[in-house]
Structures are given as structure tokens and as C-alpha cells.
Amino acid sequence: MTDSWRPGPQRPDLSPAEVHVWQAGLDIPVQRLAQYETLLAADERARAARFRFDRHRDQYIAGRGMLRELLGRYLDQSPEAIKFSYSEYDKPFLPQGELQFNLAHSGGLVLYAFCLDEAVGVDVEVERELEDALQISERFFSPAERAVLQSLPQEARIPAFFRCWSRKEAFIKAVGEGLSYPLDAFDVSLAPDEPARLLTVRGSAGEARAWSLYSLALPPGYHGALAVKRRIKALQTWMFTN
């Protein structure tokens, strides 16, 4: 397993039990942005037009443009020919084939995860000051996660909070049911000395063991996590450059 981000290949070769994660910046040169805009489907353009702030619109176009570019490389198709379907909870997916993907963006950074056959979810969060991490955790974390957070010294709580948040969100995004999936129905690890792990999924003995959960090494101030419903043999992490 590696967590060093190298320039990614033009023709990525994805095998079963392998996951590829790509990282990119969302604030890209205007010429590139204009090219990406031409790749988008009508519904994506309509969505882009609904953003109130130019920066958010441009980041959405960049995010979808790079997604299409990457999917084009995996599928050996032209990026504009790719058609998305959406789950009841808006998770985009490919209607045909075995390629699974997910994306996340925050603070000008975007992550894309790709694997074969099994559900995958990725998340990125920018660490920020919180007035009361413990109080916020009452709303979003499970009792076991809250107990771990409370046991940590004050200065370790904010990073642990965002570690936990990104891991929970990656799992939720892999499941794909949005926030209709109860956030207190599963526990993830969050202590600084513990590897990322899905610890329990309530109501389903053995389910947690079927999943792999990873922490992604991102630039300072970012927390990234990946969840996939299978045991992974290799995780490749690549930079996408425009």
C-alpha cells in the first residue's frame, strides 16, 4: 500500500481488489475550464448555471470535467460520451459495466476514487476551528466515537473530529443512501494512534469486517478517507494535473 501521490497514468489499469484515488486542484486555468465545459451534459450545464457564486460554478465544472476525463481514460471512451445515472440519493454512477467511482471536494481540492464491482466512497474535509467539537459530535457521532473523542486531550480533539467525520462520510457515501443512513448506526476509529477502521455496523454482525477504510495523506489542514466494501490488496494514489 502506498500513500505517495505521483503523476497518474494516461491509461490506468485497474484490477480487482485494487483502488485508485486521484487528487487534483479545482481552481484551474480558464482555457482548461472552457474545454471542460464543452464536455458536460445538458443537466450538468443546467446545474452549473444555478450556482450563485462564479467560483462555485467553476469548481463544479472543473470537478465534473476532470471526472469525465478520468472516466474516459478508464473506459477508453471520449469524455463527453459518458452518461451518468443517479441513485435515489443523487449518487452518480455508470449505468453499465463494472467500474465504480465516487468523488469529493472541499477547500479547492477534489478526490476521485475508482474500483471494480464494489461500492466505493471518498471524502475530504478541511480542518477548521470549532467552538465545541464535543457538542457537535453529539449530533453526528455514535456514542462509542463520542467517548473516544472525549477521552482525548483538548489539542487532539479537532483533528480527531475531522478524521472521524471524513471516515464516516466516506462510508456513508459508499453506501450511497445519503444522510438517510443513521450516523450512529456504525463506529469508525478516530484516535490519533489507531489506523482507520470500520469497527462495527449495528444490526449486521460481520459487516464491518467486509469493509476497508483508509486515511488518505493529504496536504496539511485536509482530512481524507476512502471506504470500499471489500478487502483491498493495493491502493494507488495519483495526482491529476491540468
Asked if residue 182 binds ligand COA (CB under 6 A), the reply is: no
Look up residue 8 and give its DSSP letter.
P
Shortest Å distance, C-beta 119 to ligand COA: 9
Give the relative orientation of helices 154-175 and 143-151 as an angle to the nearest 10 degrees.
160
Q: In the set 63, 65, 79, 224, which binds ligand COA (CB under 6 A)?
A: 63
- With residue 171 as reference, give the H or E element that holds it: helix 154-175
Q: In the set 9, 29, 178, 221, which binds ligand COA (CB under 6 A)?
A: 178
Place of cell 462520510: 169
By rule CB under 6 A, what count of residues binds ligand COA?
A: 23
Stretch of 10-18, 83-91, 128-136, 150-158 lying at the interface with ligand COA (CB under 6 A): 83-91
Q: How far apart are CA 133 and CA 160, in angstroms?
A: 9
Stretch of 68-76, 171-179, 190-198, 229-237 lying at the interface with ligand COA (CB under 6 A): 171-179
DSSP string, 96-112: SSSEEEEEEEETTEEEE
Asked if residue 57 binds ligand COA (CB under 6 A), the reply is: no
Contact (Cβ atoms closer than 8 angstroms) between residue 119 and residue 174: yes
User: Residue 15: what are its φ and ψ, rounded to 5°?
Assistant: -110, 160
Stretch of 13-21, 31-39, 87-95, 147-155 lying at the interface with ligand COA (CB under 6 A): 87-95
Asked if residue 92 binds ligand COA (CB under 6 A), the reply is: yes
Which residue type sits at 196? A
Question: Given the complex with ligand COA, which of 10 and 222 has the nearer CB atom?
Answer: 222
3-state class (DSSP) for residue 23: strand
Asked if residue 229 binds ligand COA (CB under 6 A), the reply is: no
Q: How far apart are CA 21 and CA 2, in angstroms?
A: 11
Length of the chain: 242
Place of cell 466494501: 229
Stretch of 50-58, 84-92, 187-195, 210-218 lying at the interface with ligand COA (CB under 6 A): 84-92
Asked if residue 90 binds ligand COA (CB under 6 A), the reply is: yes
| CA 11 from centre of chain | 22
Stretch of 75-83, 86-94, 153-161, 225-233 lying at the interface with ligand COA (CB under 6 A): 86-94
Question: Given the complex with ligand COA, which of 139 and 206 has the nearer CB atom?
Answer: 139
Diameter over CA atoms, the chain: 52
Residue 37 cell numbers, joined: 465545459
Asked if residue 173 binds ligand COA (CB under 6 A), the reply is: yes
Q: In the set 75, 136, 183, 191, which binds ligand COA (CB under 6 A)?
A: 183
Q: Tell me which residues touch ligand COA (CB under 6 A).
A: 60, 63, 89-92, 102-106, 121, 123, 140, 165, 168-169, 172-173, 176, 178-179, 183
